[in-house]
Amino acid sequence: MTSSSEIEVTLSNAGLWKKFPSPMEMILTRKTGRKMFPILEYSVDGLDPTATYEIYLHMERMDEYKYRYVNNEWDSYARGDKITPIQKIKHKSGGQTGRLWMDGPISFEQIRLTNNPDLDKKDHIFLQSMHKWLPVITIQKLENGGEDSDYYEEFRMEDVWFMAVTAYQNPAIKCLKIENNNRASGYRETGKHKTNLPTRGIKRKASETFPTPPSSTSPRSKKNSNGHSPISHDIPNPGNRDFSMMGTANQCWMNPYQNVWNHGYKMGQQMVQPAMNSWNMQNLGRPKNTSQEQQGKPINTIVPEFFGLNNLELHLFSSVN
């Protein structure tokens, strides 16, 4: 909008506003207020580059009527509520030179709308629900001492206005806000943010305590005389012990020299030990696929399944002694 002076104010995010059918609807909440979406973001031109200005925003009632949404359209059905005093909100940047104001968009994203007249908080504007509201920009020029001068101008845009509501009335408005607002995750069916946002971390279940590393990280192994693939390690082995039955490159096993759990070929890596429970305690030292006669024998061609720490230690000592 252009006033009688050379100052010009335009809506810098007008393309987003034009996606919505008219009238736009803005939600009011009582406890904390609700931020506007789309936000009010302006561009200013024609200011004195060296002069200092402050910029304010307030909401203006457009008429004397109260509206309701009937048969997919808004109808003025009653006289409006009593008009309340104007609340001007100063932009958070405070006084700035005209050059800085004209350098980039001027955003009032901090504004919150409420229908609670007793909510006295910074950047909160009280509005009456089911009434039409028009945002108004005021540009105030400051004197050299930083005091307000008599010079100020107000700017109104006829196509930038909204209906204040406590719940969306037009389903199309609600759908478009969900689609375009990254913060509207609570309204989506999945309850999640838009898919183009960064992926969050995934919680790992208790049964997934030992993740399997990529196969590309496992070097090729040679089989020993027993036909097993030994685990490569750099720790001393004065007893020339056979580690072939302790697992494969993609399993976790107990390092007898360091008393830590190792995963594959990464020796010495501290790992979380599996939790003991009543099931493990009942099967303590008893491999599932071995008979009573086979248990405890040093030579055993049947590899026992892993059931816990004690089971693994028992097998370790039985294979090396």
Kindly report, residue by residue over 171-228, the tens digit of the pLDDT.
Answer: 999 999 999 988 765 555 554 444 454 445 555 555 544 444 444 444 454 555 555 5
Residues 140 and 58: beta-carbon distance below 8 Å: no
- Greater confidence, 27 or 197? 27
Residue 86: is its pLDDT beyond 70? yes
The larger pLDDT score, comparing residue 34 to residue 273, is at 34
Give the pLDDT score at 319. Answer: 56
Taking residues 226-244, what's their average pLDDT? 52
Let me know whether 134 and 232 are in one domain: no
Please check whether residue 28 lies inside any domain of the structure: yes
Tell me: do 174 and 234 sit in the same domain: no
Is the bond leading into 23 cis (omega within 30 degrees of zero)? yes
| Alpha carbon distance 182, 35 (integer Å) | 13
173: domain CATH number is 2.60.40.820
Highest mean pLDDT among 182-191, 248-257, 271-280: 182-191
pLDDT for position 183: 75
Tally of domains within the chain: 2
The answer on pLDDT for 241 being more than 80 is: no
Whether residues 227 and 115 share a domain: the answer is no
Altogether, the residues listed in the chain come to a count of 321
**Beta strands 96-97 and 34-35, pairing class:** unpaired
Please give the pLDDT value at position 69.
97
The model's pTM is: 0.58
Provide the domain limits for residue 315.
223-321
**Statement to judge: residues 167 and 287 lie in one domain:** no
Q: How far, in Å, CA of 166 to CA of 89, rounded? A: 22
d(CA 118, CA 124): 11
pLDDT tens, 284-305?
Answer: 444 445 444 444 545 444 445 5
pLDDT at 150: 73
Q: Specify the pLDDT at position 182.
A: 84
